[in-house]
Structure 1
Amino acid sequence: MSQIHHPSILLSSDWVNTIREHAPAAEALGQLHPAQLELVYKQQWFNLLAPASYGGLQTPLPELVKTEEALSWADGSLGWVVTLCCGAGWFGGFMEPDLAREIYHDKKACLAGSGAATGTATVSGNGYLINGSWKYASGVHHATHITVNCEIISNNSAMLNADGAPLILPFVIDRNDVQLLKGWKYIGMMATGSDAYSINNLYVDKSRCFEIEPDAAVVKEQLYIYPFMQLAEATLAANLSGMAVHFMDLCVSAFANKATNLRRVNGANVLVMNDALTSCTDLLNKARTAFFAAVDASWQDAQNQGLLKAVSSASRVLAKTARGCVDELYPYCGLLAASPDTEINRIWRDLHTASQHALLTFLE
């Protein structure tokens, strides 16, 4: 089994300091702090998956998941926003080229959106009339464009796809044409600004509609032929892994503090805590190693259904392992981990909020 590296090796210490220094203020703001955003723009992290032909970084998936794990290790909310927004930026590989060039001409281009099909797009002339509301669009406050999934309506009836189910297609909308709504009120991921949004009777040209299927890729590169489901599963799992590593890093000082300040924690108790940390670190690293190996293998042969299924499985195992390790270690951290003003508590809240994502809830 190859050696697994700590996520920190991928990030400059100055970047990590900037991200973490402003994390508490970002949580209070309910969105990324301007200093964090400036770093994101400078490093083009929102464009990690945007096509190179439009100025994006077009990052190969094996490199991407390690980068996103590292960013979530630095801070869960920032890593999550970058992941979700650059994930929406991946849609640039499927958009009409003139529109994509217009969007990515802005060096601060950022796409956000929701995967829920809670809107309608009614065929109207040479375009569509968009209506609906959507929840939980991470990074929406920084977005230049918003993506929406809509049920296609024609002649007062839902259009159907080849399977006989309602036809659902995504659209990309200018941020100024979208009404933001307060909607994120959960215990964690507070700096993601994952608020809701709505659109009322907005006419858009048909060029704003696209399909997310390998055969529909406009940019004929490997990244846009790779299946969206496994890309989404892998990137979200990498985020949970990064948060778990960060929590476990902080356990070292939390355990030392408990051992020093509580008389009832004797040498045997300290050994129990340290053994648990060692065991959980090994367990998480094994899951990380298997996960990265599965992603690497699928990247070499994205048409192999067995390899793709292995990515789905490894992503779910990594998510479950990350959450399980944190939960095993949490009781040893003392009240420090229960105080909302501490870094370790913020990580605990972020991980337990992010891990509620339905995509990684159940093992297959």
Structure 2
Amino acid sequence: MEASAGAAVLTAVHDLVPALRERAQETEDRRALSAETVKALAETGFFRLLQPARFGGYEAHPLTFLRGVRELAAACGSTGWVASVIGVHNWQLALFPAPAQQDVWGDDPGTRMSSSYAPTGTIRAVDGGYRVNGRWSFSSGCDHADWALLGGIIPPGDDGSPADFRTFLLPATDYVIEDVWHTVGLRGTGSNDIVVTDAFVPAYRSLSFNDTARCACPGQEVNTAPLYRIPYASIFSYAITTPIIGMATGAYDAHVDYLRERVRAAYAGVRAAEDPYSQVRVAIAAADLDAAWLALEADLSELMELATAGEKLPMRLRLRTRRDQVRGTELAIGAVDRLFENSGGRALATGTPIQRFWRDAHAGRVHAINDPERALSLFGRGEFGLPITDAMV
């Protein structure tokens, strides 16, 4: 992709930000993004950034995509979250067998997918594919998608074959959406339940996590850009952490603007901006956000450089990426907490951006990919020379 195309998308995203910030409370109140917001995002070209060129996509550097995510989430946490997870699905579909990509994008390259990866349903292997049943939760943006990516485990076979954790691709005609999303944070994501009853999924519409861990997926036969040789765990995990960094960035901007004008009556009318303790808290929050983002940039830049050169991606780099991802989430949460604590009682008022960013960031933190101990333990195992068997690296 020409750099100018990515720059044009980011410029269009930037131009959209004031409107998204203006309707952030409306998005929260409706518990879902509006059709107007999703249409506007699509018109910027944002969803095409990680899509294969064969279907009109830009095959952009993942940092281009994540810079857009961060700016969107700094305006509206729910919008940034949905944009990120919906947008990254175009990258994942590029790893599926070519017929699956054709099923989704053949008639309309703008078709979108939602997801729910926790293997909460039941999968049964049958001739030519699988029978899928069950309920999957937390499918962000599902009301604006025509397909769903659902995680499932195929039990061990009678022939001794091991269990296999796979992603299954289903059209909206194969499931129903149940409106259950009533939460304290990320209320505007519409992360409702997907319910499937005895749907048949052809074998070509599934993808093994073992293949994604090996960076050897069927879709690479037709999508040869370096972008599609990056580990799933590196791309998807940062698609979850980046919105949280964006929410903390939005809280930071709102906090600084607020304190410029705030007068602390309890401290003899001293302007908050002149309070040295407030200055220190702002400095620490800014440093933590910079550290989170700079590590993200360094990791993905190195991964892309190696993939572009056709070189093997070292396990230590992959482990470092997961380490920095969970630490990035922790740093962002620490920053937003510090800013919230420094904002005073008026920040508690319904409708203020700081409390909304605080709630949204903490809601994003509980996503399974942000489990710090698991990722940090993997890095430690690698440093001690112990075997790594987890597919999420």
TM-score normalised by length of structure 2: 0.82
Deviation string, structure 1 residues 254-281 (Cα, Å, up to 9, x no partner) = 2234326656453687221123212321
CA distance in structure 2 between the aligned counterparts of 1:301 and 1:227, rounded to whole angstroms: 12
Shift of 1:312: 1.4
Q: Does 1:287 align with 2:285?
A: no
Secondary structure of 2:343's partner?
A: helix
CA distance in structure 2 between the aligned counterparts of 1:288 and 1:204, rounded to whole angstroms: 39
CA distance in structure 2 between the aligned counterparts of 1:320 and 1:326, rounded to whole angstroms: 10
Shift of 1:160: 8.3
Q: Does 1:124 align with 2:126?
A: yes
Secondary structure of 1:200's partner?
A: strand
- State the identity %: 22
1:207/1:294 CA distance change after superposition, 3 Å: closer
1:299 is aligned, of 297, 304, 327, to 304
1:220 is aligned, of 218, 224, 234, to 224
CA distance in structure 2 between the aligned counterparts of 1:179 and 1:196, rounded to whole angstroms: 8
Match for residue 258 of structure 1?
262
Shift of 1:227: 0.7
1:160/1:356 CA distance change after superposition, 3 Å: farther
Match for residue 345 of structure 1?
355
Q: Partner amino acid for 1:54? A: F
Match for residue 189 of structure 2?
192
Match for residue 206 of structure 1?
203
Mean CA deviation greater in 200-209 or 70-79:
200-209
Unaligned runs of 5+ in 2: 1-9, 308-312, 377-393
Mean CA deviation greater in 46-55 or 348-357:
46-55
1:223/1:14 CA distance change after superposition, 3 Å: closer
1:329 is aligned, of 339, 344, 365, to 339
1:91/1:279 CA distance change after superposition, 3 Å: closer
Task: Tell me the number of residue pairs that the alignment of Structure 1 and Structure 2 aligns.
Answer: 351
Shift of 1:171: 1.4
1:229 is aligned, of 221, 229, 233, to 233
Match for residue 370 of structure 2?
360
Secondary structure of 1:233's partner?
A: helix
Mean CA deviation greater in 206-215 or 257-266:
257-266
Deviation string, structure 1 residues 144-164 (Cα, Å, up to 9, x no partner) = 1011122236xxxx43899x6
CA distance in structure 1 between the aligned counterparts of 2:266 and 2:249, rounded to whole angstroms: 26
Where do residues 71-220 of structure 1 align in structure 2 (5 Å cutoff)? 71-104=72-105, 105-152=107-154, 158-159=156-157, 165-212=162-209, 213=211, 214-218=215-219, 219-220=223-224
Match for residue 5 of structure 1?
none
1:341/1:61 CA distance change after superposition, 3 Å: same
Mean CA deviation greater in 136-145 or 246-255:
246-255
Shift of 1:101: 2.4
Mean CA deviation greater in 308-317 or 206-215:
206-215
Mean CA deviation greater in 291-300 or 123-132:
123-132
Match for residue 63 of structure 2?
62
Mean CA deviation greater in 259-268 or 124-133:
259-268
CA contact under 8 A between 2:13 and 2:41: conserved in structure 1?
Answer: no
Deviation string, structure 1 residues 183-220 (Cα, Å, up to 9, x no partner) = 32221111110111110111233332233522223223
Q: Partner amino acid for 2:16? A: W
1:133/1:243 CA distance change after superposition, 3 Å: same
CA distance in structure 1 between the aligned counterparts of 2:204 and 2:240, rounded to whole angstroms: 29
Where do residues 236-251 of structure 1 align in structure 2 (5 Å cutoff)? 236-251=240-255
Deviation string, structure 1 residues 19-46 (Cα, Å, up to 9, x no partner) = 1122211111111122211211102323
CA distance in structure 2 between the aligned counterparts of 1:261 and 1:148, rounded to whole angstroms: 53
Match for residue 6 of structure 1?
none
Shift of 1:323: 0.8
Q: Partner amino acid for 1:171? A: F
CA distance in structure 2 between the aligned counterparts of 1:57 and 1:10, rounded to whole angstroms: 15
Q: Partner amino acid for 1:216? A: C
Deviation string, structure 1 residues 277-330 (Cα, Å, up to 9, x no partner) = 123212321332232112211221251222222211221222111111111121
Q: Partner amino acid for 1:43? A: T
CA distance in structure 1 between the aligned counterparts of 2:290 and 2:269, rounded to whole angstroms: 28
